[in-house]
Each structure stands twice: as structure tokens, then as C-alpha cells.
A = this chain, B = another copy of it.
């Protein structure tokens, strides 16, 4: 609290770790939140990690390991002996346990599975059938669950008995005798009602739910849209399977936003959970090299167009002044359009069906953007360039040049904008990831089209070749 003047427990923990002072280490670790312990763990060397985990033991390590990035989990678990692992794996909440099984190697999967109790074995097996990135793959099955014909008193008795087994009591779900979701109730309504009230009278309808097979991002956005603390997860027969909680949703949204941003920058792989400073140069290299080489070879196409039209360039060197501008304007305007559309698709706003409406909207936006850019450049060429003539090597027909550059930049921006908007939609229509496909295909097409548009339009207007 404010008046205490203690040493920060994190500082103390690092000191105790370096001094190999076991009892101080255990005491300090008890004062540090498990999320902070997990962040600290990432920055330790192997010997320190071993000392920390062995000192705090499997009980305290459970929460820490659940917070670690995927790539560190197997290594962390291997610091424990089988008997300790049995305790640790049993302590994990069922959704965290499934996460562990989804990220470790096959060899470890078999080894860890043999350490589970019979009930956990069955539960883990049944949860593992859902993909890691679906609502079913992220849900927890530890939930408060009562039936509609109970009284408040019976419900409280049941919930109190199962207390250790329920991850959240913020919302309690009501099922019928078949286990189908029929309603929900808040703990506060139980606490503030008389004991003989039937649950049926105080429960609300559970209108918001999600199928176990739905995408995790859809589940997170549903929970967020309706301001829910927990979102019930059901199968196709409306049986209540589990819930997704708000903290799962927060985690999913953070993961997906990092993933989206990295895809737009043509970075591959699935390492986004590890912090930047803890990723090795080798991993950084592997995540980036493929796209980089791919994109480089694609740009040979632009080079080929430039090579083919070199004659035109050599007839009017001044054209090279605006070549990078025309090409870059296409990349920038196409990238803006693609970003708007990819983002809107990710938020579920637009679908393949309204592609025409989007294309029409982007065509108008692109036309205005292209015209503005063309006018700005034309003004620059006619008004500013003559003043700088000395630097550019001789007299040109400036109005003529202005028209040639302005016309090609308008065509380039208009076409790049429409293309940028349509590429993600086409990618989705053929079931490819819009964010992954759009950046490289846009870069290549727009660069080539920029070269072609510039040389043919400007060449024709200036009567070259």
C-alpha cells in the first residue's frame, strides 16, 4: 500500500535468484503476480529458469506456465519430474491444459497425457477435437451450471459445493435436463433473492451464445459487442459445452491484432506470443526471409517493363524524375484501400457479396485521389520546375510534360485503388487469407502497372518512340 516502503518484490526476486538464496526466492516469488513471474521467466537463462521453477514447485508454477508464450511451455515443463508434472498438469484449468497439449511436441503430448487422471484424460481428449483457434478450442468447461427447476437455496448449495471447480461465477448458466442451455443468472441475483425463489423465475434468456466450431475472433467480438463477461459455447444441438471468458477474449484480440499487423508487413510464422527482444536473430530471419525473397523476384517483372521501355527514358531523361512517384503513388493508394477493406472484413462488416458496391465506392474515392494528385503534380511541374531548370539540365515543354505526368498518375491511382480494394475480396472468395495475399500481390501488380501506365501514357502524350 501507499504508506509501506518495501523493496519491490521483483527486484528482490532477481537478487535472490542471482544469490541462489532459496528461501528468499520463494518468499519473493510469493509476492509477485504470476503474470509478472512469467514475464520475468522469459528473460532468464536456462540455469536461472531451472532454479526458479524448482524453488517455487509445481503448485505455484502452474499459473506461471499457463501465462508463458507457447514456445516456452514445453521447455518449462521439462524442468519437473514426472510426479511433480502430474500435480502441475492436474492443477491447470482445463482450457489451459488443452492449450499446453496443443503447443508441445508429439513426444511430450504422449508423455504428459499418461500423467493425467482418468477424468482429465477424457476431458482433454474431448476438448482437443476442436481446433486451437475456435471457440471450442479456447473455452473452459469449469462453469457454474444449474437447472431451471432448482430453488435459489438448492442452486447456492450446488454452486458452493462445486466452488473449487468453477472458473467464474460472474454468470451462471441454467440448463434443462438434457444439458441444453435455457437461461442465465447472475450471482448477485442469487445473493439478493429469497431462498425459496425458483431459478426459472429469476433467470434471463441466454440469447447470446456461440458454436464451438466458430472462429475464436468471432467469439471474442461477440462477447465484446454484447458487453458479456462470459459467452456460453454450445454444440449444434444447443448443449452447453463451456464458456469463453472476457480474459480469453482480451487475449484473442491482442493476438489477432498483432497477427494482422504482421501479415500486412509480409512477416510470416506464428511467433507473435514471444516478445521482440526474446526472439533470436535466427527466428527473426526465418519469419521475414521468405516474403522478402519472393517479393524481390516479383519485382523483376517491373524491372523487365522498365528495361523494355529504356529507349523512351533515354529520349527524355526528365521522365525519370517522376517515375518513382507514379509507381509509389500506386503502391500507397492501393495499400490504403486494401487496409481499409481488410480491416472492415476482419470486423465482419463486408463480405464477398457486396464486392461491386465496394469497388464502386473505391473507384470514386480513387478517381478523386488520382485527380488531386495529378493536379498537384501538374501545378508543381508548370510553376516550380521552371525555376529549378538549371538543376534539371535544360529547357523542357513544361505544360506538355505536366499533362503527361498528371494523366498517368491519375490512371495509376484510380486503378491501384480499385485493385487494392478488390484483391482482399477475391482472396477471401477463393479461401485465402486476405491479409497475407494482398500485400505481395498488390505490390507486384501495382509496380508493373505503374511502369506500363507511365511509359505508354506519357510516351504517347509526349510523342516518344
Contact = CB atoms under 8 A, between A and B. Distances in A.
Interface of A: 1-2, 33, 35, 156, 160, 163, 169-170, 180, 182, 187-188, 190-192, 205, 207-208, 220-221, 223-227, 229, 237-238, 246-247, 249-251, 253-254, 256-258, 260-262, 264-267, 275-277, 281, 284-285, 288-289, 291-293, 295-297, 299-300, 302-304, 306-307, 310, 313-314, 317-318, 320-325, 327-329, 332-333, 335-336, 338-341, 343-344, 347, 349-350, 354, 357-358, 361, 364-365, 368-369, 372-373, 376-377, 380, 392-393, 409, 413, 443, 447, 451
Given A265-B264, A357-B277, A160 B192 contact: yes
Grouping DSSP codes into helix (H, G, I), strand (E, B) and loop, the A interface class, with mixed when no group exceeds half, is: helix
Given A297-B380, A310-B314, A365-B285, A246 B229 contact: yes
B324 A377 contact: no
Contacts of A220: 250
B340 A284 contact: yes
A317 B310 CA distance: 6
A335 B321 CA distance: 24
Nearest to A342: B261
Contact of A314 (B281, B314, B322): B314
B296 A328 contact: yes
Nearest to A315: B314
Contact of A1 (B205, B224, B357): B205
B344 A321 contact: no
Nearest to A222: B35
Given A261-B260, A265-B335, A322-B300, A285 B317 contact: no
Nearest to A248: B227
The 10 closest A-B pairs by CB, nearest first: A257-B257, A276-B344, A265-B339, A302-B324, A303-B321, A224-B250, A2-B238, A306-B320, A310-B317, A299-B325
A313 to B, nearest CB: 7
Chain B CB count within 10 A is highest, among A254, A292, A314, A343, for: A292
B328 A299 contact: yes
Nearest to A334: B265
A384 to B, nearest CB: 10
B306 A321 contact: yes
A320 B409 CA distance: 21
